[in-house]
Amino acid sequence: MRAGLRAIAYWAFIVASLASVPAFLVASMVGDATPEWQPYAGSVNFIENSTDSLHSVKIEASIIGDPKAAEPRMSYRAVVCGKGSFSGFLVFRGAARLRGAEYSPEITQLGGAWSLGLVPSDSKIMDRIGPSSQVAQAFKLSISETAPCAPGTSGGAAQPSDPWVGTPVEVDGNSMGRILYVGHRVGLEGPKEVETWPLIGAFDVPSQSMLGEFEGSGVLAGKYMRPPILLTQVDANIPFGTHVDSARPEPSSTAGLTWDSFSSTGPVAELTNEDVATRWQDWTVFTSIWFGVGAAFLGAVVFEWARLRNKEQGSPNEEAPDVVREEACGEGLIPIRVVTPVGEQGSGFGYTAAASAGLVVAAFGFALGRRMSRSSRAGQKQTG
């Protein structure tokens, strides 16, 4: 019974030691996994009737749902200021189009066929911006009386991040494109993330100039222009504990990660989730120690197997010299020849070498993990 339990424990240790290898590799790979991402293929732009008195507009984009979702819930808020009534359109192209849209009472979604192009009309550009359901999506904004712009430069804002006064309207919906990409391996999420946004405040259409007058057809018949003052704001709302590794363009604030601009913007940011990074660093340290102990045990098993094999087979080249000693026998002394068993020599050295190697590996892994952890905390303090 005892021998059976010993055998079970013996093989259990062997299996656990072998399992330390893939565990260490998985922890290392997931901790360094880089997201596979692509630029956002879509845009959100604002146009108004060119025959009306022109207004100033600020477009605010933010995530209000799970940022990791394939189609995250987005919010687009337009704040309009100026004189008199206002009639304009929010135009969503490509992956920026919204499913399940909800909007303010001042907004209606256009149905039917329409197209939009620069004046003079360019058929290629018109084809790329319309018709509606397959390529683009438009929401009409009708405001009977807009709030006047606050005194100051640029329609009331000396800086793009300054408070903006106006009449707000909002469109919410599920974006057809992914915003946040997370690095992963073997189905496990790592700490590295990339956030990519649609182009806000312009059309993502190759053209020498997209700032002139546009001409629409169908249900969008008429002539339109971008507001002369169009500010954009993108609020990523990243959680506390997320480190901004790099961002293009430079964000106006890294606390929550916000971009403010007097022109169009389509930001991209590389992030590190510090909580996830710390967790995988701890797992890397643990599995490295596990791997070191397992290596020591497997080394001992190999040396024990080699010793027993030599003992069973016998090897003349490895026999130790016999020891002759004298023992009392009756009234005299007789020589006794003591033969050292084959394979016993060197086994102690093998055990010691295996254990030492395992401890070295464990110590190296522990030191490496602690160094990575300290570097991560130092970077977070510098960011704060």
Reported as a single tens digit per residue, the pLDDT across 134-152 is: 578 889 999 888 888 877 5
Q: How many CA atoms lie within 13 A of 188 on its CB side?
A: 19
Q: Residue 5: is it exposed, middle or buried by C-beta count within 10 angstroms (0-12/13-18/19+)?
A: exposed
Q: How many CA atoms lie within 13 A of 211 on its CB side?
A: 7
Paired sense of beta strands 180-185 and 188-196, if any: antiparallel
Say if residue 176's pLDDT is above 60: yes
DSSP-assigned states of every residue in 118-154: ESSP-HHHHHHH-SHHHHEEEEEEEESSPBPPPSSGG
Angle at which helices 347-383 and 274-313 cross, to 10°: 170
Containing 251, the helix (H) or strand (E) segment is none
Q: Is the pLDDT higher at 283 or at 344?
A: 283
Q: Name residue 180's beta-bridge partners.
A: 195
Q: What is the pLDDT of residue 1?
A: 65
Say if residue 325's pLDDT is above 60: no
**What is the token pair recorded at 157?**
């804002």
192, 182 Cβ separation under 8 angstroms = yes
In whole angstroms, give the CA distance from residue 137 to residue 301.
Answer: 69
> How does residue 124 score in pLDDT terms, banded at 50, 70 and 90?
very low
Q: What is the pLDDT of residue 335?
A: 58
In whole angstroms, give the CA distance from residue 365 to residue 357.
Answer: 12
Residues 6+ apart with CB under 8 A from 150: 81, 156, 165
Containing 368, the helix (H) or strand (E) segment is helix 347-383
Neighbours of 331 (CB within 10 A): 5
194, 24 Cβ separation under 8 angstroms = no
Q: Is the pLDDT higher at 320 or at 270?
A: 270
Q: What is the pLDDT of residue 130?
A: 55
Q: Name residue 243's beta-bridge partners.
A: 272
Each residue of 156-174: pLDDT tens digit? Answer: 555 666 667 888 999 999 9
Q: How many CA atoms lie within 13 A of 350 on its CB side?
A: 16
**What is the token pair recorded at 300?**
């001992």
Q: Name residue 215's beta-bridge partners.
A: 117, 223
The pLDDT mean for the chain works out to 77
Give start and end residues of each alpha helix (H) in 199-326.
274-313
* DSSP state for residue 322 in the 8-state scheme: P
Each residue of 328-373: pLDDT tens digit? Answer: 555 555 555 555 454 444 444 455 455 555 555 655 656 555 555 5
Q: Is the pLDDT higher at 332 or at 257?
A: 257
